[in-house]
A and B are shown apart, each in its own frame.
Chain A
């Protein structure tokens, strides 16, 4: 032999390293695709706009008690970790760069850290590679690291904190503790994930970790529950069926793929061979599943937790002795195709997320041509954009947690959308002092209406001078309510 033979361990280590680079590159391609398609200056999704609006609030000396724009005025109760960090970053990076590049960078770093974390948990190389690949193609990963949102930073911080916690160096542990203590400022869901890790792993490793757990819980309590007042809404203004929200194939942005669920069955079957050995894991998986059903945004943590199991599922199918080799290989190919296809299919949705150029123009029209306190009525999906781009109050938006009278507002919105009776429409408009009605093409194409003169569209068109179309561009319309001006 020309070269001295590497020993087995070195060989495996090199192979894993090469595979790690391949998966990281894959993550870069996957996360880079939406940026390439939309351009570095454009932003997809409503959440970056929301976070940017909140980050602008840090320009002031004091945080407000009330948000005058969302729900036409509501208590200012938002997790402020993300907007604060965005505010700091935007001082360093120009324009939309932070909103576009940060998710990409954090996504790639998260994948790199996951490799090390899974290795430290004792999983073998093959499982680690498959788990990471599956995770890269999962819709929650693609969404959270393509569209800047309130989960992008804390997911990374959580993963980084876990990685540092698992190292043996004292300094890293200290940094990890500091990171864990910042998590409550990003939302209780992230705290739950941190606590699951600390309970399952931390308590076994370091006894004093219970002090950290206690402090985190206390901080979460201080950050959130002290701000709550009675009668607040904990549900969601997203009225779609739960199945539509938790399954990515059915349109859930944070949902997981049906193919993941099918593979999970095989993975759990593999795990169940050891019966109750992994009972801690089952408990944490159940907690994360319940959390996911309650709040679909937490799907990324559920996905993070099940990725190794999905990997086990694929390996289980591969290693089990099948009577028919053809069926076995075709099944594995179909399974992997399904997982990849659902990821790619979801990836193609990202550049289509609102707002598009026409919407931005129309919202800028509202910002420039209306009075600051004029309330705009639209579908709840457009509420955040009305606040963030038009800088005008809405009736309802998707940030429904802690918002006032959400159910009543949803009901009134429906009444207004579907009535063809001017008097009924007028009563709702007067109730909320609506000055403008904002209509987008997706509202006319199934989101609200299916017919050209259905419900409110008929009222707007045929109520004489009571309404006036003041803006119309590529089916984005703004109607002024004349009788309240």
Chain B
């Protein structure tokens, strides 16, 4: 077996083991979105059908989301620990795909291997997917596989793969819109640069555009009808947008994208655009531009934007890494080449693994008392609503089995702007009557005050909650409304 193959296998294995260790270290998934997906998977498993209505989210609402990932997980649910295991397997294929893309771009195995290593610990990708039941675990590898197939589209195997993925990808995740937008920008850049796009790649782009658009149109028809051109924004209210934006400072963003992907990625674009494979670099660079456009227009939330930026900047790194390695060979220290590579790998590991682990948070273990939430499950009334911050609504519904007042799935949610506003008022106001009016209107019977709630609204306590004639302190983090 070739040395590179063994090294690549070790990289993938190492990243997989780290992921599995972290994932199995906790009984819970790390974030709120995982529990949204988990509920959907469990509903699919029980009903053996697609889910169009969620009785707990926002007190009951229509669900419109691609459900292939959930379907696959529901089918695999009979395997023990499958919900923890399979997302990690899916996302662990990322270094492999990135290795092949890098190899295609640079034809250099060493820089491709280093890129594969970088990609296994991109902080934002790692912290957003490890111990998460996230659709991105499957969507990101699929998206990269589509780009790789497009690079090698002249090969019939990849042509067929591309055709199949053009149908599958939109059924997995709405980021197929980002893929479409990237291809559009790619064409625009080629035209503006007077570069021709011809042959099978052009045909494949036209085809994928039609297939993805048709499938998305069928899936999101109701969303199109309701939001029109604003569907891209996913109905995310400004309150939620601002929360996501303010939680990311510029310095945080730079670290979480990854210092190595950022520096070497930008240099890679520069070198790539002046190299022989300009068209391929433009193709792989177009998602970066598309993400920037969407971020600037505030059309995707900042975390998702940074996720894609981190990933696609990593794809550009082999171009500059190869240059660096080639350059080093020309210097008078070339005899220390191996040492240099080892030091470089250590630097990558430090800047990759450390922030990856640092930014990984297990909200469930750190910010919730799950027993409190499970206590609510014992209450028989299924119509009661539990108030929480919007970014913990899915956790509340999953563990309590009760309706939430608001959560982070805003598409087709009933008036999320008002609900988020009302939630903030309840937590921050000093007026008991104002809060009670909102809670009565929303049929809220219990209020959650977790560490996450406190962090979201920057509060220590609810100011009026000590009024025992109206509020009973049922559990450590749960208050019951009794008046």
Contacts and interface: CB of A to CB of B under 8 A. Distances in A.
B163 interface: yes
B213 A338 contact: yes
Using C-beta atoms within 8 Å of the partner chain, give the interface range for chain B.
20 to 34
A449 B415 CA distance: 8
B414 A244 contact: no
Contact of A454 (B206, B225, B230, B418): B418
B204 A327 contact: yes
B154 to A, nearest CB: 8
Contact of A446 (B207, B214, B217, B226): B226
B210 A338 contact: yes
A296 to B, nearest CB: 13
A451 B415 contact: yes
Interface in B372-420: 414-415, 418
A240 B228 contact: yes
Given A244-B228, A249-B217, A330 B159 contact: no
B415 A334 contact: no
A327 B213 contact: no
A250 B213 contact: no
B415 A258 contact: no
Given A324-B204, A328-B203, A241 B418 contact: no
A451 B441 contact: yes
Interface string B153-179: 000000110010000000000000000
Interface string A442-471: 000010011111100000000000000000
B441 A452 contact: yes
Contacts of A450: 414-415, 418
A323 B228 contact: no
Given A241-B228, A244-B229, A249-B217, A323 B210 contact: no
Using C-beta atoms within 8 Å of the partner chain, give the interface range for chain A.
20 to 34
A450 B211 CA distance: 34
A323 B201 CA distance: 9
A6 interface: no
A56 B62 CA distance: 43
Contacts, number: 80
Describe A's contact surface by its main secondary structure.
helix
A251 to B, nearest CB: 5
Given A323-B203, A327-B203, A243 B228 contact: yes
A123 interface: no
Interface in B171-217: 199-200, 203-204, 206-207, 209-211, 213-214, 217
A2 interface: no
Interface string A253-269: 00000110010000000
Chain A CB within 10 Å — which of B159, B200, B214 has the most?
B214
Contacts of A324: 159, 200, 203-204
Chain B CB within 10 Å — which of A323, A328, A453 has the most?
A323
B98 to A, nearest CB: 26
B392 to A, nearest CB: 22
Chain A CB within 10 Å — which of B204, B218, B224 has the most?
B224
Contact of B221 (A331, A345, A449, A454): A345
A328 B202 CA distance: 11
Contacts of A250: 224-225, 228-229
A324 B210 CA distance: 16
Interface of A: 240-241, 243-244, 247, 249-251, 258-259, 262, 322-324, 326-328, 330-331, 334-335, 337-338, 341-342, 345, 446, 449-454
11 contacts: A241-B228, A251-B228, A323-B200, A323-B203, A330-B163, A330-B211, A331-B207, A334-B214, A338-B214, A341-B217, A450-B414
* Nearest 10 A/B pairs, CB to CB: A450-B415, A244-B228, A334-B210, A323-B200, A250-B228, A243-B229, A251-B225, A331-B207, A327-B203, A327-B207
